[in-house]
């Protein structure tokens, strides 16, 4: 029987910009066929296909060299971030990492793109992603329903503001759970918001 290949989305994790180191590229090369094409996505991820029989070994190796790997398909993507140019703590990198750990890979009706930006300049483009987080002073603003692609491109709406990190995590969890429960199969998140109603979502998750 021929070997199955498992697609993984890979990046170097949340840091000051998107970087990969030579030892990370070498680790990737250990598990890929010589002529395999590697897709570089607009979300700054590499899509690779790892033989199923080597998947667990590959994951261990990727952990060792600091590569992050995510499932490909109808899941929450890894958090797109800005470059945290003003500093790790000031721009909330620990909160971005915490949010990413919590939501990346969660199953949803259709691929969902979250974005985070460390100040209102907005280099991480949170307003044109499904879920957008913007740090403002010591608190966080949450936007939902942005869409960058297609004729229906639009900016997200401000869903809640002045959130602490824990309030942000909890609210994002609740929004994702509602989408999971009531979203139709392959229904994009902005479409779900239009159908279900922005205000109805607010009423259900903000108590």
- Binding site residues, ligand SF4, CB under 6 A: 82-86, 91, 117-119, 121-124
Q: Which two tokens stand for residue 19?
A: 């970087």
Cα–Cα distance, 192 to 176 (Å, whole number): 11
Which of residues 39 and 89 has its CB atom nearest to ligand SF4 in the complex? 89
H or E element: which one contains 179? helix 165-182
Closer Cβ to ligand SF4, 31 or 140, answer by number: 140
Question: Phi-psi category of 192—alpha, beta or left, where left has phi over 0 and alpha has psi -120 to 50?
Answer: alpha
Two structure tokens written together for 74: 């109808």
Q: What is the closest distance, in whole angstroms, from the C-beta atom of residue 48 to ligand SF4 in the complex? A: 28
Query: At closest approach, how far in Å is the CB of 12 from ligand SF4?
Result: 17
Q: How is residue 23 written in tokens?
A: 């030892």
Q: Other CB atoms closer than 10 Å to residue 166's CB: what's the count? A: 10
Kindly tell me which of 88 and 170 has the beta carbon lying closer to ligand SF4: 88
- Nearer of residues 14 and 108 to ligand SF4, judged by Cβ: 14
Identify the three-state secondary structure at position 123: coil
């Amino acid at each position: 029987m021929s070997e199955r290949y498992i697609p993984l989305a890979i990046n170097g994790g949340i840091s000051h910009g998107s970087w990969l180191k030579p030892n990370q590229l070498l680790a990737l090369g250990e598990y890929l066929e010589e002529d395999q094409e590697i897709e570089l996505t607009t979300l700054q991820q590499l899509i690779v296909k790892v033989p199923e029989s080597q998947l667990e070994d590959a994951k261990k190796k990727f952990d060792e060299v600091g590569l992050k790997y995510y499932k490909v398909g109808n899941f929450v993507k890894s958090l797109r971030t800005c470059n945290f140019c003003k500093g790790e703590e000031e721009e909330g990198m620990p909160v971005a990492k915490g949010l990413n750990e919590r939501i990346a890979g969660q199953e949803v009706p259709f691929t969902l793109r979250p974005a985070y930006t460390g100040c209102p300049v907005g280099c991480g483009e949170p307003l044109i992603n499904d879920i957008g987080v913007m740090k403002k002073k010591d608190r966080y603003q949450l936007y939902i329903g942005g869409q960058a692609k297609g004729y229906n491109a639009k900016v997200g709406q401000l869903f809640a503001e002045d959130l602490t990190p824990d309030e942000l995590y909890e609210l994002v969890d609740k929004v994702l759970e509602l989408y999971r429960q009531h979203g139709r199969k392959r229904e994009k998140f902005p479409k779900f918001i239009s159908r279900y109603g922005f205000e109805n979502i607010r009423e259900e998750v903000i108590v």
